[in-house]
């Protein structure tokens, strides 16, 4: 492994010396069906015993994905909007859960997404809403519990909210810099920044991946992250289900 990891290893060593553990979780977005990229992700996570939470797009998925995931113990399925379609008002950022449509229409789609994925995935299903583009109209949030969601997962620090947030904090992809994987040094620093926050305020470190668009750097980073954390006594990977069950 390259020297780019050293600052993160040093930070984890510090946690270990003070008897604390860092809890990581993995969210991977945009799954619909089995693919070689999904296979690569889940083979990697399985090899390192890292539980993965797949944010699946309900409208376009079906039995094929459910059958494929059947034999994989460490995987969970969350609700990634309904169709991952943009309904933004003109001139606004992309949004499915907000924008030009009424609250009632959006909430009905989310209710259907919850129902469809829980029926397809049974025990693997977790009642967590992952908004496409990590974006949701705040006016919808107080209604999510009434359609049986228990948590919301977006990107960035958790905010006080009508429903618990279990967020991601480090995105492997550099969307605005060429849609390629961030370099290792940058990502290690993003994890360190989150660790400093967790040290003072508690919380988990959410790693965000998008298996369908990973380049060589993103795959290599993930492999090295799993290897490094797998052998470090201060790091542990948590199943999102156990994070939901644990009160913060
Ligand atoms: Zn997405």
Per-residue model confidence as pLDDT tens digits over 25-69: 999 999 999 999 999 999 999 999 999 999 999 999 999 999 999
204: left (phi over 0), alpha (psi -120 to 50) or beta: beta
Does the pLDDT value for residue 76 go beyond 70?
yes
Number of CB atoms found within 10 A of residue 95's CB: 22
> What is the 56 CA–ligand 1 centroid distance (Å)?
8
List the domain boundaries for the chain: 3-245
Percent of the chain with pLDDT over 70: 99
Largest separation between any pair of C-alpha atoms in the chain: 53
200 confidence band (pLDDT: 50, 70, 90): confident
Percent of the chain with pLDDT over 90: 94
Q: Which position has the token pair 């996570």?
A: 45
For residue 246, the model assigns a pLDDT of 86
As a CATH number, domain 3-245 is: 3.20.20.370
With beta carbons less than 8 A apart as the criterion, state whether 52 and 241 touch. Answer: no
187 confidence band (pLDDT: 50, 70, 90): very high
> What is the 17 CA–ligand 1 centroid distance (Å)?
38
Beta bridge partners of 209: 28
> What is the 182 CA–ligand 1 centroid distance (Å)?
18
> What is the 85 CA–ligand 1 centroid distance (Å)?
10
Q: What is the DSSP track for 69-120?
A: HTT-TTEEEEE--SS----PPTTSPP-SBSTTS-HHHHHHHHHHHHHHHHHH
1 confidence band (pLDDT: 50, 70, 90): confident
Is pTM beyond 0.95? Reply is yes
Does the pLDDT value for residue 115 go beyond 60?
yes
For residue 185, the model assigns a pLDDT of 97
> What is the 55 CA–ligand 1 centroid distance (Å)?
8
Torsion 8-134-204-28 (CA) sign: negative
Q: What is the mean pLDDT of residues 186-193?
A: 98
Torsion 175-177-178-183 (CA) sign: negative
- Distance CA(119)–CA(229), nearest Å, equals 34
For residue 74, the model assigns a pLDDT of 84
Of 145, 148, 190, 149, the residue nearest 169 (C-alpha): 190
Q: What is the pLDDT of residues 234-244, one digit of tens each?
A: 999 999 999 99
Does the pLDDT value for residue 93 go beyond 70?
yes
Neighbours of ion ligand 1 (CB under 5 A): 29-30, 132
> What is the 59 CA–ligand 1 centroid distance (Å)?
13
For residue 248, the model assigns a pLDDT of 56
> What is the 29 CA–ligand 1 centroid distance (Å)?
5
For residue 208, the model assigns a pLDDT of 98
Structure tokens at 108: 């009905």
For residue 137, the model assigns a pLDDT of 97
Q: What is the pLDDT of residues 129-164, one digit of tens each?
A: 999 999 999 999 999 999 999 999 999 999 999 999
């Amino acid at each position: 492994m390259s020297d780019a990891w050293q600052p993160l290893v040093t930070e984890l060593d510090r946690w270990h010396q003070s008897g604390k553990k860092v809890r990581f979780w993995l969210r991977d977005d945009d799954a619909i069906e089995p693919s070689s990229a999904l296979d690569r992700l889940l083979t990697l996570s399985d090899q390192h015993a890292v539980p993965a939470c797949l944010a699946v797009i309900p409208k376009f998925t079906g039995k094929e994905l459910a059958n494929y995931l059947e034999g994989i113990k460490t995987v969970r399925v969350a609700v990634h909007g309904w169709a991952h379609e943009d309904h933004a008002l003109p001139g606004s950022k992309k949004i499915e859960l907000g924008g030009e449509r009424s609250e009632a229409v959006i909430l009905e789609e989310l209710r259907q997404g919850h129902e469809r994925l829980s029926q397809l995935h049974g025990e693997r299903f977790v009642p967590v809403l992952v908004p496409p583009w990590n974006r949701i109209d705040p006016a919808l949030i107080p209604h999510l519990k009434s359609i049986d969601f228990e948590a919301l997962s977006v990107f960035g620090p958790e905010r006080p909210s009508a429903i618990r947030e279990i967020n991601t904090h480090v995105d492997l992809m550099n969307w605005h810099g060429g849609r390629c994987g961030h370099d290792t040094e940058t990502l290690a620093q993003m994890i360190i920044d989150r660790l400093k926050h967790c040290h003072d305020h508690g919380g988990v470190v959410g790693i965000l991946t998008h298996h369908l668009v990973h380049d060589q750097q993103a795959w290599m980073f993930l492999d090295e992250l799993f290897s490094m954390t797998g052998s470090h006594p201060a790091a542990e990977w948590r199943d999102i289900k156990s994070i939901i069950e644990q009160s913060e």
